[in-house]
Copies of this chain bind each other. A is one copy, B any other.
Amino acid sequence: MHTYMHFPVVYMTACLPQKWMYGGLDSNVLLQYLAWVTYPVVLITFSAGFTQILAPQAVGSGIPEMKTILRGVVLKEYLTFKTFVAKVIGLTCALGSGMPLGKEGPFVHVASLCAALLSKFMSLFGGIYENESRNIEMLAAACAVGVGCCFAAPIGGVLFSIEVTSTFFAVRNYWRGFFAATFSAFIFRVLAVWNRDEETITALFKTNFRLDFPFDLQELPAFAVVGIASGFGGALFVYLNRLIVVFMRKQKAINKFLMKKRLLFPALVTLCISTLTFPPGFGQFMAGQLTQKETLQAFFDNLTWSKQGLAEEFDYMGHSQAWRHPQVSVFVVLVIFIIMKFWMSALATTLPVPCGAFMPVFLIGAAFGRLVGESMAAWFPDGIHSDGTIYPIVPGGYAVVGAAALSGAVTHTVSTAVIVFELTGQISHILPVMIAVILANAVAQSLQPSLYDSIIRIKKLPYLPELGWGHHEKYNIRVEDIMVRDVRYITLNCCYRDLHNVLLTGHLKTLALVESAESMILLGSIERSQLQSLLSQQLSRTRRLEYIRERSVAEKKRLSEVSNPSSEDSNMRASQEVRFQVRSHSGCRERWYAVRYQPTLDFLPCLCCSEPFSFSFVGKPSMMPSFLTYFPSPLCVLQIAEWEEKQLDEQVNFNNCKIDPAPFQLVERTSLHKTHTIFSLLGLDHAYVTSIGRLIGVVSLKELRKAIEGSVTVKGVKVRPPLASFRDSGTTGTSSSESEATELHKLWDRHRSISLPREHVPSESDEKSQ
């Protein structure tokens, strides 16, 4: 017996009881049904609940997220220990339930989590593990490990992970992936040997097709048909999957109800699916009692199930028995299986549990291939080969081809071909598999995005879509057609007030630094956060305290000088300060009224310090912060505001500011195709468009995404890929500009609310600011 997955013990205990409960209760159908249904419902509900509570990021496949992370966008919450625990336990339960769910995506995620946690742990010891690009390399290798140990397919694992997660792949990471994946596959299969399940290391779903004449040349058209049909099927699957998600989202009434009872949806879906597969019920027409693994073994079987339509010649050994039905032929069973599993898988993969879609799709593909193979076998009982020996048709070979083609179509990968070779341990069908996979990819890619890209769109992850097949017109769109000309910039000699104004607008993470507004020569870019800290430093608590301390020292001096007036200069200064202080005592009330009754007043709060105007003296005296004890007399708002105004008019000192002196620059005439390449290659978020040193625009991921998705009008013609209209359905409203609200606005609002003289505790806001 093969161990089906990496957690053999858990899986065995999770899957056997259902069978045992079901088998032991064969006297009573109702009890049988209850046993059959309760088990998956409980497991899925637990999995959904557990994941929901511990880490909602663990839901779903994980490959779309990894794709986004490897693209350079940091999604930190997806690589935490909590997510790891939730994913492992949630996945184990979900798989144990027997639902049509896969594990390759979660495995990729789990492996990446391991790698991320490992790098985090290693970075404690310093060295190269602190390096960002090193971590990305580790994650890329981890993805290969995930797929590799899922199918015991090191090569296929590496290739599949490259295809689904990378746009540009660094060949120097290649051996890392192979190294990691080989060892993961080795350990995975060695466990089977140590468990005495296997005598030695072999393939997971070993086939035993004949080597001397694996297939006839004249069978190739049939294989091609399998490929093309799988292409359409794959596109349909992705479409159906998205349709379900979008439908569930749109139904506000259902949604509201389900949001309250989050576990009801998974429970209902599980109940529905397990009811339909109940073996004495409808399940008898679709081999409901078999697990995924048994089903796949049956499909890859060497023997032909339908020999000239005679039920007597049917081979009953093994799991093939499940496919026999006294009333209906094997073809009908297969068709029912395919149709039922198709929508069930599409539905089940939308459940909020850790799950993938690869394995269910693989299974459906195998079923479809088997159907074609059985048909061929029935059509040509003595094989097609005309001269000499009779070589009967091997339907198992068709199943292999179909599995590779459909999974390739859904994921838009070619490496599923390699995976099936490693999975079956035979490479004899290489040409049919390759042809079918390529044809399936061609069809599916022209109709729909891949399943992972579809999920990326649904989840609105910050990812750049691929240039599709028909991207010829992408060579004609130029950067100048899509760039934003109204760039936010700061000049080298700007004052803090300009900084403040610029920070209030725009959404990009970095701002351009130009020489002057006239020359517009781009000098570099500065991160928004850097500017914010620059601004808050200028108006910081420390500087404020410094100012106050200076004042208080001067005050004391003045007091001592009043008793001993020695120098005129100090006397002069002291009198000025008195004037200030006097004014503060009178103006303080006035200021409050201004704030209270004239909210439209042009009034500049400090941005990051949480005590914009020391209110301490309007609060209770006992809550007065300790630093205020410095004051000989309490300070007033107007005074501080005046100080702030003065500070804001100072010129910005960029000396302590981290400036990126070489932000990426494009030219107006750069084609969209090249821009896309550069963005993908370097994982850029935005690039400035310059013309002989002068900043004239900026292109961010958003613009690029829009342009690629075909909503840019160039030269009066709406440029869209031929089949884009079909692709776009269900993904409208994906623009995420609203969600990218600037934090500055929030900050502004917060200050505004704070500055109102309510029952305000300064020490509390003090904590918040830290």
Contact = CB atoms under 8 A, between A and B. Distances in A.
Given A186-B431, A661-B667, A673-B133, A693 B523 contact: yes
Interface in A14-39: none
Interface of A: 127-128, 131, 133, 154-155, 159, 162-163, 166-172, 174-175, 178-179, 182, 185-186, 189-190, 193, 199-203, 206, 208, 211-217, 385, 388, 414, 417-418, 421-422, 425-428, 430-431, 434-435, 437-438, 441, 466-467, 472, 475, 513, 515, 521-524, 659-662, 665-667, 673-674, 677-678, 681-682, 690-693
Most buried by B among A193, A427, A434: A427
Instruction: Give me the 9 closest cross-chain CB pairs, A-B, nearest first.
Output: A523-B693, A662-B665, A182-B434, A427-B427, A661-B692, A169-B169, A178-B414, A681-B681, A168-B168
* Chain copies in complex: 2
B691 A661 contact: yes
A119 B536 CA distance: 59
A644 to B, nearest CB: 28
A411 B434 CA distance: 26
16 contacts: A131-B475, A166-B171, A178-B437, A182-B431, A200-B216, A201-B431, A202-B211, A202-B212, A211-B426, A421-B421, A422-B427, A515-B521, A661-B692, A661-B693, A662-B665, A662-B690
Most buried by B among A168, A216, A421: A168
A578 B163 CA distance: 78
Given A418-B155, A427-B421, A665-B662, A472 B128 contact: yes
Contacts of A659: 692
Contacts of A133: 673-674, 677
A637 to B, nearest CB: 38
B175 A414 contact: yes
Contact of A523 (B166, B431, B521): B521
Contacts of A178: 414, 434, 437-438
Given A171-B169, A681-B681, A425 B211 contact: yes
Contact of A428 (B168, B179, B425, B666): B425
B661 A441 contact: no
B441 A175 contact: yes
A440 B664 CA distance: 40
B175 A200 contact: no
Nearest to A190: B217
B523 A202 contact: no
A133 B182 CA distance: 35
Contact of A200 (B185, B186, B215): B215
Contacts of A190: 217
A202 B425 contact: no
A545 to B, nearest CB: 32
B200 A211 contact: no
A582 to B, nearest CB: 46
Contacts of A418: 155, 418
B162 A171 contact: yes
A206 B202 contact: no
Given A427-B421, A662-B667, A182 B438 contact: yes
A669 to B, nearest CB: 9
A153 to B, nearest CB: 9
B693 A682 contact: no
